[in-house]
Structure 1
Amino acid sequence: MDTAGKTVDFLFRAKRDKVTARRFFETSIARKGVPETVTIDKSGSNLAALQAVNAARETPIMIRQLKYLNNVVEQDHRAVKRITRPMLGFKDFRCARIILSGIEVMHMIRKGQMKTED
């Protein structure tokens, strides 16, 4: 999420690893530009990926791993959690990925973040 509360990008994977996290950050930076700071959870893979991205840059991206600063992101996911909780789980990961991506897109549309062609 950016400072205005808009979702920048999201990624849903079965496992967290450095390679996937780095690819996500590089793709997000290519699409939306370089952020000044990135707030992440305590995931070691996210930290390692951002450190690898910073190693290739002249001006590093500031990394914040403070729990209370991540609350904005968690509050944004509250709408998704409210919808998925009554579903009683997903049959497989592919199904979960498709459904959650759709829910995230609908949430972004509701927040006015999707551009439409008129």
Structure 2
Amino acid sequence: MEFSLSTRRNTASAKRFLVTTPRSTAHAGPPRVIDTDENPALAAAIAELKADGRCATSVRHRLVRYLTNRIEGGHGRLRRVLGPRCGFKTPVTAYRTLTGIEAMHAPREGQGRIFAYGHSNPDVVIVEKAFAHA
């Protein structure tokens, strides 16, 4: 599961996201199905990648309106943390803020064990990795 933060939601940004996603999920193999909302830019980007040969033609694209609601529902706690802010001024500040919030939330979900198997305190590893470039 991946997400992309971009200033526009068009075919070029969707294509850029879809090209970089397989690199981060190489351990799981190529996707069989891509679930997206009904944004036409995503469908166009997948069609272009299939035509270019950068995406397997066997990949099925499902336009499902409510399937991603469970994933997107996790943004509620993010909105509570951010408070009454209307948004971010630049993508850089959005990235840094969201990285910090997710890094602080990951230990509560038990994600430290995945990144630091056998480490005495895996939560420390997550926070160190997130804030290494801050």
Instruction: Letter of the 2:79 partner, please give it.
Output: K
* TM-score where L is the length of structure 1: 0.72
Question: Structure 2 stretches of 5 or more lacking a match?
Answer: 120-134
The more displaced of 69-78 and 86-95 is 86-95
User: Is 1:50 matched up with 2:46?
Assistant: yes
Could you list the runs of 4 or more consecutive aligned residues of structure 1 that deviate by over 3 angstroms after TM superposition?
A: 104-110
| Aligned counterpart, 1:15 | 8
| Aligned counterpart, 2:89 | 92
SS of 2:96's partner is helix
Instruction: Letter of the 1:88 partner, please give it.
Output: R
- The structure whose RCO (Cα within 8 Å, separation 6+) is larger is 1
Counterparts of 1:38 and 1:16 in 2: how far apart (Å)?
A: 17
Counterparts of 1:48 and 1:66 in 2: how far apart (Å)?
A: 15
RMSD over equivalenced CA pairs, Å: 2.4
SS of 2:61's partner is strand
Deviations 1:22-47 (A, max 9, x none): 12112111221322111112222222
How many equivalent pairs are there?
Answer: 110
Give the deviation of 1:14 after TM superposition: 0.8
Name which one, 1 or 2, has greater alpha-carbon Rg: 2
| Aligned counterpart, 2:116 | 116
Instruction: Letter of the 1:16 partner, please give it.
Output: R
User: Is 1:39 matched up with 2:35?
Assistant: yes
Question: Structure 1 stretches of 5 or more lacking a match?
Answer: 1-7
